[in-house]
Amino acid sequence: MSVAYALGPQPELRIQSVSKSYRIDNEPLAVLKNVSFDIAAGEFVSVVGASGCGKSTLLRLIIGLDTDYEGDILLGSRRIEGPGPERGIVFQEHRLFPWLTVSQNIALGLENIDPAEANERVAENIALVGLAGFETVHPHQLSGGMAQRAAIARALVTRPEILLLDEPLGALDSLTRTYLQNELHRIWRQERITMIMVTHDVEEAVYLSDKIVVMEPRPGRVRSIVPVRLDHPRHRASAEFAAIKEEIFSSLS
């Protein structure tokens, strides 16, 4: 476990000419081609694009589940070579272990920490995501939205500096989705951490992000990077909001 970067300023994530291809029947298939962009500390960045643009692959590279790529993904000055405690991820499916309770699931990442402190941090994060009272419940008893909050708490409990979100609200109904978007925004504000979210939902991206990376498919490339300079709370019905949405939609098609 490297501590070096923790002493310096908050890390800035730099993605520098990253390319990634899979071999299918010994033919290389490019999934990402020459992708570059930077993420400042504390920024909320969304990545949008049609399916097949490699946005989920990009997240897997950043979290370190896949280390076989060209180019560099730099955390501070260090190249990412696998999962680390400074990065957390929320997958599209909650992926809670069904045999553990909510609090046991959230505590999973805290195995090397003093039990008393671990308990405290679990309780803290359960409160943060609004699941107080559901500590001893098993995942199958939770609704989709609640399970996803538990997954967010599990990712946050290790106090990452960067939280990756892989279409975290994609499988939820629209009411729950809107509600959790606000919750996500609140958590981002409260915890002041960097968030990188992959999504299909342009409105969601505009609502939450400081910056939106628009990608195009086959192979996955960055088409444009759209800054969102709107004050929070943002109004989905406002003209400025619609204008940015329009800009992204036109960039997507």
Partner 1 sequence: MNVRLLAFGRADVRSVRPRRLWMPLLRPSRILLPLVLPGLVLVVWQIVTVRGLLPVQILPPPAMVFSTLVDLIRDGEIVANLKISLWRITCGFVIGSSLGLVFGTIIGVSRTADDYLGPLFRALAQIPSLGWVPILILIFGLDDVLKYLIIAKACFVPTTLATSQGIRNIPRQYMEVASVLRLGRWSVLTKLLVPAALPTVFGGLRLALSHAWIALIVVEMLAATEGVGYMMVWGRTLFQMDIVIAGMIVIGIIGLAMDIGLTRLEKRLQRWAPSHG
Partner 2 sequence: MADIASNASLPRRGRDRHALWRGLAVPAGLIVLWTIAARLPGNHSQLLVPLDTVLAAPFVDDSGREIWLGLAQSVARLAAGFSIGAIAGVAFGLFTGMSQSADRAIGPSVHALRQITLFAWIPLLSAWFGNGESAKIVFIVLSAFFPTALNTHEGLRAIPVQYLELANVMNFSRRQRVLRLLLPGALPSIFVGIQVALISGWIGTVGAEYMLGVGRGLGIFIAEARGQFRMDLVLVGVLMLALVGFAINTVCRRVFRHLLRWQGGTS
> Please, what sign has the CA dihedral across residues 168, 171, 172, 177?
positive
When CB distances are held under 5 to 8 angstroms depending on the partner's kind, the choice from partner 1, partner 2, none that residue 24 binds is: partner 2
Q: Compute the least distance from the CB of residue 101 to partner 1, in Å.
A: 8
Q: Which residues pair with 45 in a beta bridge?
A: 196, 211
Q: Compute the least distance from the CB of residue 249 to partner 1, in Å.
A: 31
Looking at the Cβ atoms of 154 and 177, the one nearer to partner 1 is 154
Q: Compute the least distance from the CB of residue 63 to partner 2, in Å.
A: 12
What is the contact surface with partner 1 in residues (CB under 8 A)?
63-65, 83-85, 88-89, 91, 93, 95, 97-100, 108-109, 111-112, 138, 140-141, 154, 158
Contact residues for 205 (Cβ-Cβ < 8 A; gap 6+):
46, 48, 197, 199, 212, 248
Looking at the Cβ atoms of 34 and 92, the one nearer to partner 2 is 92
Contact 191, 156 (CB under 8 A): yes
What is the contact surface with partner 2 in residues (CB under 8 A)?
22-25, 31, 51-52, 54, 56-57, 60, 91-92, 166-167
When CB distances are held under 5 to 8 angstroms depending on the partner's kind, the choice from partner 1, partner 2, none that residue 109 binds is: partner 1
Q: Which two tokens stand for residue 240?
A: 């400025």
Looking at the Cβ atoms of 162 and 228, the one nearer to partner 1 is 162
Looking at the Cβ atoms of 95 and 185, the one nearer to partner 1 is 95
